[in-house]
Amino acid sequence: MKLVTNLSTFEELAEKIKKCISFYERKQMSKIIYNLHMDNGEDISISFVDNNIAHLLGIDTEYLKSTGYFKGSSYNILKEVIDNPYRVSKMVRDGHLNYKSFISDYAFDKTENFQLLCSFDLSKLEFICSYSKDRFITANSRKNTENAVYSTDIIPLEGDYYIAFNTKDKLVILGLKKNGRRYYPMTNRIINFDNNEEMDFLYNLLANQNITAPTYINKYDSRRYYNIGKKFYIYTKEKIEKLRRLSFYREEYGCSVDVASGYLFTCQRLNNNYRNNEELPSISKDISSFMERRLPIDISYFESKYQSVSKDIISIIESYNASLTKSIEEAKDEHTKKIEEERDALHSLNEKHLKELEELRREVLAYKKKNEDLSIENQGLKEVHAKVRELLQG
């Protein structure tokens, strides 16, 4: 991690940010709408806006504005800062600013990955997390692995979707927040796989959430809303590998995988690509029937029924069956949980009745004792009465 500590490193960062802004403006990113279609059947529209760019590049323009030395929009303040790094450095030397107060520790990393986030390269898109605060589980719920350290003061995230891109030895996470009909980038974070704190963040992001893969993406010009690029797909073999990767995240981080719609789409594409295989339409129809009902598929059934079941088809079936495992386990867990809750409720009710019965038993014993005492007292009074009457008669 490279930090900004002096004029030299700040000038270096400013140059990198200038290149990012140049790319952003040259590609007219603020005019582009990405329609992302996902394997869980959902689709969302994504747009970049000028005033979010500073945050995505690690510069806190809200803090700079609060000092009173900078005015205007976030985007204009960002440009002002990088256009005159010497002026900012002088403010730091004079004690008016502090580099750490407005520059993220990850600013250099953010500039390195900015173009990747803007381009939405499907080949590097690792997973999409549909985030729900209702499903949030903290890291301390996880079974700690040896030598792993997890903090417990984590709070739910604010984004609606988190998209992860794989860049060799790390993940770049882009957070999206809905505003109106579209989703806008609100944050980005670098996840190094050898950093416990960052892996802790990844667990808190994924645990008990739903993840999926991209099906395809459309690119539009928002000014006229026409398609400025064809649909971008993932080739079948690459698609299968991505689906297998989702299984890794499911097993490692306890999330659910929802890709049924994507499997159906892949089957349809295979059907279109291999029309010379007369059996393939029937195979696709059979597979689709299982997938629509979210039932596991027996590969041996297809191999016995059809003469030519390709490796691609078998790989799709295997990945699909694996994706169901988590859902089946969750259903079992939910059923078990319901039974346990009913059992606990009955146990509590039984305990309550036992306590009430014990109270009644004690009351009965108390009344019995009181009755015995009254009987003895009555007998004594009778004897006294008899003696008094004898005295009166004598």
49 pLDDT higher than 50? yes
Which structure tokens are listed for 117? 């986030």
Which band of pLDDT confidence, cut at 50, 70 and 90, is reported for residue 142? Answer: very low
246 pLDDT higher than 50? yes
What percentage of residues in the chain have a pLDDT greater than 70?
80
What is the rounded average pLDDT of the residues 116-127?
Answer: 88
Least confident of 48-62, 187-201, 295-309: 295-309
Note the pLDDT of residue 179: 93
Top mean pLDDT of 5-19, 246-260, 333-347 is at 5-19
Residue found by looking up tokens 């690119």 in the block: 219
Secondary structure letter of residue 146 according to DSSP: T
What is the rounded average pLDDT of the residues 73-101?
Answer: 94
What is the rounded average pLDDT of the residues 145-157?
Answer: 55
Which band of pLDDT confidence, cut at 50, 70 and 90, is reported for residue 151? Answer: very low
81 pLDDT higher than 80? yes
Which structure tokens are listed for 151? 């903090």
145 pLDDT higher than 90? no
* Stated pTM of the model: 0.66
- φ/ψ (deg, to 5) at 104: -65, 145
- 250-291 pLDDT, tens per residue? 888 888 888 766 665 665 555 555 544 566 667 777 777 777
